[in-house]
Structure 1
């Protein structure tokens, strides 16, 4: 449909019909395959609201969506199709590793493929929009939603943001198998005070623009069709009613022209923030800020008509919001084909097909990070007696909390993966203990297990596990968080492994210290005791549908682990938020001089994290040459190349993530000790060498200076190239000419 016809359609709509387009309702409000029922009294909804809501969340399945769309359009005054949206975060039915784990692949192209597969499965099931990617920068492991992001670094997050949007949307959202993506949560949702979900955010304007906004910008530049507002405040104003944030920064400065949707009832929550007095003021603030869709609340539909009538809201604000929604529906091709790709036969053919499972297995194995290995991995396939012990040995609950359509029955457990690879009468599998004690189950977690072993069964499981460990040469302990201990509303002050599992670990260690720990979790954890006692630690996150196969591949050396941490693991929770690109301060701590009291340091723990950003071991080793620069100085129009030779010095093929960091030594404002500016993942055979080259341009050196202008400043810069963020492999160059001198 051409724009002229969209304008005509808009002009022909009644005010009530327009306001209904701004309403999104939850699928549970509609029952019996589209029959219009629902909680009318509770939300003050009428049959007309239910019939006219412009979009729905949580209705999926080709047959169901097609039936609903047909009935919806028949009763809709202008036969405008509905939008069907869903949180397709890291897979639809084929579940890929959680986004934090995908960040550890350092392979945006792989995540692009995963997003493309998720889009294909979702689209044949009738979905038009996914609320993904979540590109919030995160530096505090207490916050449960770290699992939904790709980590602590601005540049790395931006690379994944771009890749995921492109994977979901392709060249155009109207293409078969593609869906519209929604970048979220705008803005700075990943920096809640105290790591507590829904809490306030306190950031300087410079930190917001230099660190937090680039991830969203990358998604916008990639063409995302929607942006979702955040629950938090920005500059002490709730994001959903923050006119400067949404109209000036998002639309004017960042160039976004698509649909802005609130998070779940976040317009109404401005009352709770103490920012809006009532629903009327909340509706006024949100529509003036530029929020187009009110997600699952009645604020817009109950207030906007009266606000227009009394002159507090100009109707052109309604018209511009409706036009953006109509344009999105038009881009998706819904006016010509309201069912888009919904197809029952295709659902059967593509969902969880072998091709999709194969990619899920590859993505999982690429995301695993080998944190420690005292020459015990890979395991031997023959002649070695191994006891696999722990609550995750035979569990299929190995997908993230936001994998709404994932089902345990479709997942491959660790035991499944081991047995598919080898049959060995020297293998023993024991549960050992539950994931959590019954009293540790958080209130309100309906999907957590409601039953745990009774005291007698628990003791029996523990005894059998100890016996298995005593008679085995090697123990593989599969431990970690419950899948619903990370995700939304799962902030934790204690980020350790549950005590019931630590008790199992200690009991096993007493009888057999040849322990490999396989960790299942959605956030960085406090691993001090584990890493001090275990011989090897393999971080597998929440790996998804093919997790068990992927873990077996890595444990037995069929795949060499190559993951690198996209988020630092703190030494203890007392360090968080912790990240590699901190500022040095006027009194930086000097390693080895712990008795020098008057420095920026803790008395009782180190400054440095237990495992830094970019860290990850391999079954082989790599050496790095010194850095070769094409020139020692550049002006703003020139390009500098930095080269390094990487060699596989071990005995098996391996992949190494070569990381480029730059430090601006002096600036008009204090600069980070180093910042990631490039990376390349290279595969090397034993004794093979490759020269890796990075291009460095003036644009990479820009930041918001003292005058808040985004530009570079002349001076000296250090370049670091190596295998993680602590590399000391260094070279120096000068930037001699920029748009501004100090």
Structure 2
């Protein structure tokens, strides 16, 4: 590899490259059109390219100059040296790279493209910016629990500001897959199990990444809605596994978040690894052609996932690399990531007439159009500024936002006897568990550029919060998945010497994310043994779960009087958790996924169907739809989360109970905080279509609102329903609404009664 520090000479070469670009054919073509009418310049540029150069524009590769974290996030593959990759740039054989090493690297590569490449087409720099760049925010699933799309937009905006300063133009986010099987590890990247929450967060994150000033702004990055489609429906929650769901389910559940992302302006999407009803998504003409292009009129770019075209061979769908290239490309995948198949095989496929030149040119136009939208044809170095890179990252404002997002993502499952919040003084506190201290397992899965070493752990956060840090001790007690010699004895001694125990247990960050499916979504046995031993001391215990998915809790963990779900919260983890533990802020998040009673319930989601034999309220009855000894409910349902207040729901008003086809129905409830502390409540509206031509879920979330209540305060919360809110995919696979009777709930969770009533659509 060549020298990786940016030098004065490189900066000077960069200046020369800008000058060269100003005189290049592509720049001149755009100048002729005033930068406004894109098609003619793109057409003229395409006409000048060789078939090999066109294939190069459709080839995206992992950066040869990349950090260890980027390398670890994908399968091990042979990579070119940086000098070899620069030669590929010069020859016009790649369109850009992903997960590279900052502005210095980007400037070196763009300089070669602008000075030495024949057509001087700017490179595109992409990256996995999933939940932050150098400032790391809560993992997306955790942040979805805030039920605050404005917060998700703000954190995505901050991530874009930092990433763009390092030369990044394009992020492979947001993931908008609905995930209803908690065994699947990639649920951490999305918004959970609910369609409405998924749509809302998809919209917010796209707007955050892309900004409000247009994609040509130097702090905007293009988003990529992924993975198209139904990746979250993998059989048995096994990553990469087969997906076989009905078209109705696709249209009702898995498509809407993508449609929301595209409506918000996302100009790219990524084909998913999985097959759909026997046809891999990467080579699925119905999915990528009929649905995406013909029905939805999507005019953006489709990129494969990492070696997704190569994997068509192991799917048993393509005979060899050449066949895989033809199938993926003709199905609608415009750009190939990492396999190199398009560069290797498209020229011959075009020469032999198996791929029309018109299809090749179509894909090239989409790539060039993306680069124009990003402002790269106007200034290829607009996001490449090593000096700016140093000033935009980990700013005080971004770190403050990370702390705010962290505490607003924490869910309180239990708080018996008002154990929380803890007092800041006068109590000896024992932090026990593998996550009690240390610079590991803080930022969470799928972060390329952040570092645990820069994050704040639980011990540091608690000691920074209490009046006397000397009263706080930390003891591991066990490893994440293995016992420690003498660990339990040390933990018991620490608990006995303390007034209160905070037990920090759960999953390590390498237990969630891609390729991290679990057969048992439980706290590992070594930690369960620790929890049982500590509980036996009789000391008050607060469980601080670190987790990347919903868990099936049991034993001493489930029996603990207080449980906080703290997920993976990023750079300010310890301070965010301490804010909630000691009451600087109250818990305000809600579960974006259902916590089951047992792993065997998975896949479980609240919006399931009744079946013909639902168990009635009360004890389990024979020959009804439930597991042996376990109800068909959640231990902690979607939408559940407690506050430091005492929240009551009352006085439902159904607005007359009649909704006409072209009218509106306003439903209202009174929400009261009868506690002594300020509280934020997420008020949720659920509806059930009682009788329909297609059986409907027992509840569906139709709206939510987050409100703040002072002690003793009440407020009236209203929701407006329209006919369109009751739409579902009918017998003809088209959206439909049918008149009839509907149940509704204004409630604090998907399984809470709250206040309930009925209305009729007439």
When the two structures are superposed, what TM-score results if normalisation uses the length of structure 1? 0.93
**Aligned match of 2:171:** 130
CA distance change for structure 1 residues 191 and 561 in 2, over 3 Å: closer, same or farther?
same
Shift of 1:470: 0.9
Residues 1:567 and 2:597 aligned together: no
**Cα distance in 2 for residues equivalent to 1:632 and 1:392:** 51
RMSD: 1.7
CA distance change for structure 1 residues 39 and 709 in 2, over 3 Å: closer, same or farther?
closer
Structure 1 counterpart of 2:359, from 317, 323, 328: 317
Q: Check whether the contact 1:624–1:644 (CA below 8 A) recurs between aligned residues.
A: yes
Structure 2 counterpart of 1:190, from 232, 242, 251: 232
Instruction: Answer with 700-709 or 542-551: which moved more.
Output: 700-709
Structure 1 counterpart of 2:525, from 486, 490, 499: 499
Q: Check whether the contact 2:89–2:112 (CA below 8 A) recurs between aligned residues.
A: no
Unpaired segments ≥5 residues, structure 1: 32-37, 438-454, 737-742
Instruction: Answer with 186-195 or 413-422: which moved more.
Output: 413-422
Secondary structure in 1 matching 2:141: helix
Residues 1:276 and 2:301 aligned together: no
**Cα distance in 1 for residues equivalent to 2:178 and 2:536:** 41
**Cα distance in 1 for residues equivalent to 2:701 and 2:267:** 28
Structure 1 counterpart of 2:708, from 655, 669, 683: 683
Q: Check whether the contact 2:64–2:85 (CA below 8 A) recurs between aligned residues.
A: no
Q: Check whether the contact 2:415–2:561 (CA below 8 A) recurs between aligned residues.
A: yes
Instruction: Answer with 138-147 or 525-534: which moved more.
Output: 525-534
Aligned length: 708
**Cα distance in 2 for residues equivalent to 1:382 and 1:198:** 50
Shift of 1:40: 5.9
Q: Check whether the contact 2:528–2:557 (CA below 8 A) recurs between aligned residues.
A: no
C-alpha distance after superposition, 1:435-480 (max 9, x if no partner): 232xxxxxxxxxxxxxxxxx9xx33443322211112111111111
**Cα distance in 2 for residues equivalent to 1:156 and 1:493:** 26
**Cα distance in 2 for residues equivalent to 1:51 and 1:379:** 63
**Cα distance in 2 for residues equivalent to 1:335 and 1:60:** 22
Structure 2 counterpart of 1:665, from 690, 698, 702: 690
Structure 2 counterpart of 1:223, from 224, 242, 265: 265
Shift of 1:250: 1.1
Residues 1:399 and 2:431 aligned together: no
**Aligned match of 1:341:** 383
**Aligned match of 2:21:** none
Residues 1:610 and 2:669 aligned together: no
Structure 1 counterpart of 2:185, from 144, 159, 180: 144
Structure 2 counterpart of 1:19, from 51, 55, 71: 55
Q: Check whether the contact 1:659–1:678 (CA below 8 A) recurs between aligned residues.
A: yes
**Cα distance in 2 for residues equivalent to 1:30 and 1:605:** 49
Shift of 1:30: 8.3
When the two structures are superposed, what TM-score results if normalisation uses the length of structure 2? 0.91
**Aligned match of 1:621:** 646
Q: Check whether the contact 2:89–2:113 (CA below 8 A) recurs between aligned residues.
A: no
Runs of 4+ in structure 1 displaced over 6 angstroms?
none
Q: Check whether the contact 1:626–1:730 (CA below 8 A) recurs between aligned residues.
A: no
Matches within 5 A, 1:723-734: 723-728=748-753, 729-734=755-760
Shift of 1:697: 0.8
**Aligned match of 2:677:** 652
**Cα distance in 1 for residues equivalent to 2:694 and 2:90:** 54
Structure 2 counterpart of 1:413, from 436, 457, 469: 457
Shift of 1:483: 0.6
**Aligned match of 1:557:** 583
**Cα distance in 2 for residues equivalent to 1:157 and 1:530:** 33
Q: Check whether the contact 1:644–1:692 (CA below 8 A) recurs between aligned residues.
A: yes
Structure 2 counterpart of 1:381, from 420, 424, 431: 424
CA distance change for structure 1 residues 666 and 67 in 2, over 3 Å: closer, same or farther?
same
**Cα distance in 1 for residues equivalent to 2:297 and 2:241:** 28
Secondary structure in 2 matching 1:640: strand
Structure 1 counterpart of 2:664, from 639, 658, 662: 639
Q: Check whether the contact 1:150–1:160 (CA below 8 A) recurs between aligned residues.
A: yes
**Cα distance in 1 for residues equivalent to 2:240 and 2:368:** 31
Q: Check whether the contact 1:653–1:686 (CA below 8 A) recurs between aligned residues.
A: yes
Residues 1:351 and 2:396 aligned together: no
Shift of 1:382: 1.6
